[in-house]
Amino acid sequence: MKNTIFKIISGLALFISNPAYALAQVYGGGGVAAGVDAAVEAGVGTNANLGTILTDITVAIVKYTALLATIVIIIGGIWLIVGVGDEQAKERAKKIVLFTLIGVILVAIAGAIVTFIQSIL
């Protein structure tokens, strides 16, 4: 317990004492107007209605979910390989893969529903 508290306190002390973190807070930009102008030049926020924004967010969520699902399925596969003789590890790996696939299917269905509703409106 003492060792954990010491690690936390020493980590916080190193974080606070580093001047780079304080210097990173300085902003010398043009303010909000310059940021909005830069966003418009980049194509963000132009001619966007609520449906387009929701569709973009849904597509991003589906993409990130697919990435995370791939990582979790790989972890489940590693559990399956590592737990060669252990029946409990094998069952745990199967559950990881199964629940991940169920989650991906639910997110894909949600994305399809949002896209369908957006196409109707």
Q: What percent of the chain has pLDDT over 70?
A: 70
Q: What pLDDT does residue 102 have?
A: 92
Q: What pLDDT does residue 25 have?
A: 54
Q: What percent of the chain has pLDDT over 90?
A: 2
CA dihedral defined by 80, 84, 85, 87, rounded to 10 degrees?
A: 10
pLDDT over threshold 60, residue 19? no
Domain positions in the chain = 1-46, 47-121
Of 87 and 1, the structure prediction assigns the larger pLDDT to 87
Of 76 and 11, the structure prediction assigns the larger pLDDT to 76
pTM recorded for the entire structure: 0.53
Band the pLDDT of 31: cuts 50, 70, 90: confident
The DSSP code for 46 is S
Of 84 and 64, the structure prediction assigns the larger pLDDT to 64
Q: Identify whether the C-beta of residue 103 lies closer than 8 Å to the C-beta of residue 69.
A: yes
Band the pLDDT of 28: cuts 50, 70, 90: low
Q: 17: buried, middle or exposed (CB in 10 Å: 19+, 13-18, 0-12)?
A: exposed
Q: What pLDDT does residue 13 have?
A: 62
Q: 92: buried, middle or exposed (CB in 10 Å: 19+, 13-18, 0-12)?
A: middle
